[in-house]
Amino acid sequence: IERRMASAGMDFVEPDQMVQFYRKRQRGVVKGTTEWLGLQDSIDQFRDTGATWDMFNTDTGFFPTRVGGKFTTKTTRKKIPGEEFAGKQFLETAEVRHRTGERFNINEYFKANRKKMLGRVTVESSMYDRTFVLKSDGRSIEQALTEAIADLPENIISEPLKSEAIQADKIVPPADHVKEGGLDIIDGALHRRVSDNMVPVDGPSVERVRGLLDLRNAVREVQRTQLTDAPEKDILSARKSLNKTYDKFLKKWGNTNDRSNASAMRGDPDYPLLKALERDTEAGGLEKADIFTKRVISPIKPVLSVETANDALLASLNERGTVDLAKMEQLSGIPQDELVEQLKGQIFQDPEDGWVQADTYLSGNVRKKLEAAQGAAEADPAFKDNVTALEKVQPVDLEAGDIEVRLGVPWVPKEDVQAFIAHLFDDVEVDVNYLDITSDWIVEVPAQASFALDEMVANTQKWGTNRYPGINIVRDTLNAKTPTIRDRVDSKTTVVNEKATQAARDKQNKIREEFKKWIFDDKDRRERLVRVYNDTYNNYRPQVFDGSHLKFEGKVPDKDFKLRPHQAGAVWRIVSSGRNTLLDHVVGSGKTATIITAAMELRRMGIRKKPMIAVPNHLLEQWGADFLALYPGANILVAGEKDFAPENRKLFASKVATGNWDAVIVAHSSFEFIPMSLEFTREMFESQVQALERAIADAVESGQQRRSPTVKQLEKSKLRLQARLKKVENKMKKDATVTFEELGVDHLFVDESQAFKNLFYFSKRTRVAGLGNPDGSFRAFDMFAKTRYMDKITGGTGVTFATGTPITNTIGEMFTIQRYLQTNVLEEAGIHNFDAWASLFGDDVTRIELAIAGGNKFTSKTR
């Protein structure tokens, strides 16, 4: 019972009141007490289950444990399932004037029934305003209520009826127009669609719901006539009928956006459509939307034929998002070989991906594409044109002076690092290994070399200190660590030796500068490394996306809303780029319209079947309204908070999985309640654990001992991953009723994606400002797991992040974005964790800053 109360959002002074209410027999009576300020919510809560017969407003003094509260006692009879709300509605407020001349709003019932206010009316001042309250008139609460309930109707309790458990003969098949979770009225009773059955439900007034459903049907008819380009007289007739139906509903039941109507349609996926019938006015009220006065949907007119090869290409791109030669031949009547010849230079046959646009083929990793084209040309001369075109767009090679190489970057071979150490320390021989999977540099010093280093001035003075040898500083520098020297005070306490620490750090900076000079001193080494850098990191040509050819079928006419060029280009990028997308669009640039349009284009072209959009909590309903304002005929599901209550998640999953939705819109906080399966999460971690185990096996086979630094570091990383997996498993097991995979989502849009920036990471760096907690948040991990799943099922094309502030604190947040959207790109570049990324694209800088506490205090910060 308490769970049912919580899922219904019920909040009473004493929870026992609602427990008592649920246990009452049908038509049993119970009195409940609720806060005056929460009275409307309380009425909404009872409407689905009970009939409110009377209310009494009482003095705050009757409830001394809630000082300053204003309470209302309600007497409620439990309804028979299916019975309409027969009690007084008490829905509106009314203005009253106190003898002081001040005006206050109170519930309309109390204005009409002053004797139900059991006390003396007065006005009190608080810190913020003047408040209308009741004070005791001398009677006790028992006496006041006893006298008041004497006026209640007699015989409102009847004999208990038989249980209303659902009987098989009361379940009927749904009508075709009723969506999963939708309401319908059958034989005068309210039913909800659950899978392929219409199940009787208790709930709001049947007549109210009937009015809402009639209104929905009238809207759908208007949309049908406009979408099919029906005769003008039919369009006008449908619009007139809609206005008449709406006006009738408004007069009897109020605005479709009113809370009572939202409550009546709770759980029905068509409510956002009814909500979109009204829009805000500048005065703060509501008015009819455009659908009541003008055409909002342009008919979809497919291209049946074209005259030229170029028009055939544009038609194919608009309809399919790809170069479809068979479709182009069908539209133009031009044979495919002639189409290829006429479109030479505009389309290319990618040896790996088939026919694509020129701007797509001649962008991205063009060095890799050139290598593939050269291989293909050796077998088929037809690809020579590809080679010629790709050679023209290769990035200009960077020279050695353009490349900054830091000690510890992953692309410098271990042999070169080993040679640098020999350069520093009189040709000492050490073993150097780089663990690609953990980004760890391991420097092992054999016993003979260790003895030599102990006596070497270069190690203890030139490149190191007597407290911190140079070979240790090199090891720290390779692994992005900063030397720190501590002195022991007692058996439990150490303190930083500032002077010795600074001396060691000065030597570290000296070693870094020496490496930069040494690395390109040798001609052969310079040419080899410059080639490696250009092929690995200077290989990308950006693509300019032009969406001007898109028609955006189903969108409101351009005269009502036209996408700006940058929005159309962004839509085309999402649809055609073959990659995940980050929309770094500032506030006011139209991210919402871009995402909505992209989702609809993905659906229209058949690229995606079920996009999901995760949005900030407070914008959930606004997103639903904006979606239908831009695409009035869209079939969307806006998932409310109650859909994610534990007992409702299966039903929600069924709605999503079985519905033909153009988009499913969920709030950020709710998104986390539908996690990935434990199986997928384990697979995600186990793949990394297995890679570490392979690295351990390879190290042992190559002669490394089990206790060698290389193997020990790999084992440590493996244990850390396994510990993180266990922590995640424990969290997920608490709430694993429905999994994300069950929903059938195949594209994920995330609005205001910076909310998920607190993603876990591994780093050897410590106390670097701006990096945040290495453990991250579960919310961010949940998002990460889902983006990995989307990559798996879409090949790295199914995630779109949108934010006006991708970087809020530190440039390191860019790495987090890349992990979400470009994991495959990072892995191809040999970047498996933050340290590898930072060694390439950033540098630690230590500086003196004013302490947060202010005053004359300063602190040393590494950023």
Last residue of a domain, one of 100, 131, 151: 151
Q: What pLDDT is attached to residue 341? A: 95
Tokens of 11: 């909040």
Pair 485, 611 in one domain: no
Assess contact for 214 and 261: CB atoms under 8 A: no
- Closest-CA residue to 410 (of 516, 533, 534): 533
Pair 787, 824 in one domain: yes
Residue type present at position 369: K
Assess contact for 44 and 260: CB atoms under 8 A: yes
> Residues in the chain with pLDDT < 50?
1-27, 31, 35-48, 51, 53, 60-71, 78-87, 126-128, 154-168, 858
Q: What are phi and psi of 17, to 5 degrees?
A: -60, -45
* Residue 37 maps to a domain: yes
Pair 638, 787 in one domain: yes
Q: What are phi and psi of 674, to 5 degrees?
A: -115, 80
Pair 664, 594 in one domain: yes
* Residue 279 maps to a domain: no
The overall longest dimension of the chain from CA atoms, in Å, is 106
* Residue 239 maps to a domain: no
* Residue 796 maps to a domain: yes
| Pairing status of strand 93-97 against strand 130-135 | unpaired
The residues pairing with 801 across neighbouring beta strands, listed in sequence order, are: 582, 750
* Residue 145 maps to a domain: yes
Q: What pLDDT is attached to residue 101? A: 63
* Residue 411 maps to a domain: yes
Pair 783, 703 in one domain: no
Q: Quick check: helix, strand or coil at residue 231?
A: coil
For residue 612, the domain's CATH number is 3.40.50.10810
Pair 695, 750 in one domain: no
Rounded-to-integer distance, Cα 674 and Cα 666, Å: 11
Tokens of 379: 């077998």
* Residue 52 maps to a domain: yes
Pair 586, 521 in one domain: no
Long-range contacts of 315-320 (CB under 8 A, 24+ apart): 317/357, 317/549, 317/576, 318/549, 318/550, 318/551, 319/605, 320/605, 320/606
- Closest-CA residue to 10 (of 54, 47, 60, 52): 47
User: Which run of H or of E encompasses 112?
Assistant: helix 108-112
Last residue of a domain, one of 151, 176, 209: 151
Pair 772, 715 in one domain: no
Q: How far apart, in Å, are the Cα atoms of 847 and each of 408, 507, 768, 811, 850?
A: 22, 17, 12, 17, 10
The range of the structural domain enclosing residue 706 comes to 681-730
Q: What pLDDT is attached to residue 127? A: 42
Classify residue 344 by its DSSP letter.
B
CA distance between the termini of the chain: 53
**CA gyration radius, the chain:** 35
Rounded-to-integer distance, Cα 296 and Cα 233, Å: 16
Assess contact for 615 and 752: CB atoms under 8 A: yes
Last residue of a domain, one of 151, 181, 212: 151
Q: What pLDDT is attached to residue 234? A: 95
- Look at the chain and report how many structural domains it folds into: 4
Pair 515, 611 in one domain: no
Pair 719, 758 in one domain: no
DSSP string of 623-661, one letter each residue: HHHHHHHHSTT--EEE--GGGGSGGGHHHHHHHHHHS--
Tokens of 526: 């310079």
* Residue 216 maps to a domain: no
Q: What pLDDT is attached to residue 594? A: 98
Assess contact for 816 and 769: CB atoms under 8 A: no
The overall pTM is greater than 0.75: no
Pair 642, 791 in one domain: yes
Pair 579, 689 in one domain: no
Q: ∠235-239-242 over CA atoms, to 5°?
A: 140
Count of Cβ atoms closer than 10 Å to residue 232 Cβ: 10
Q: What pLDDT is attached to residue 852? A: 52
What contacts 495, CB < 8 A, 6 or more positions away?
486, 487, 489
Q: Quick check: helix, strand or coil at residue 316?
A: helix
Q: Quick check: helix, strand or coil at residue 46?
A: helix
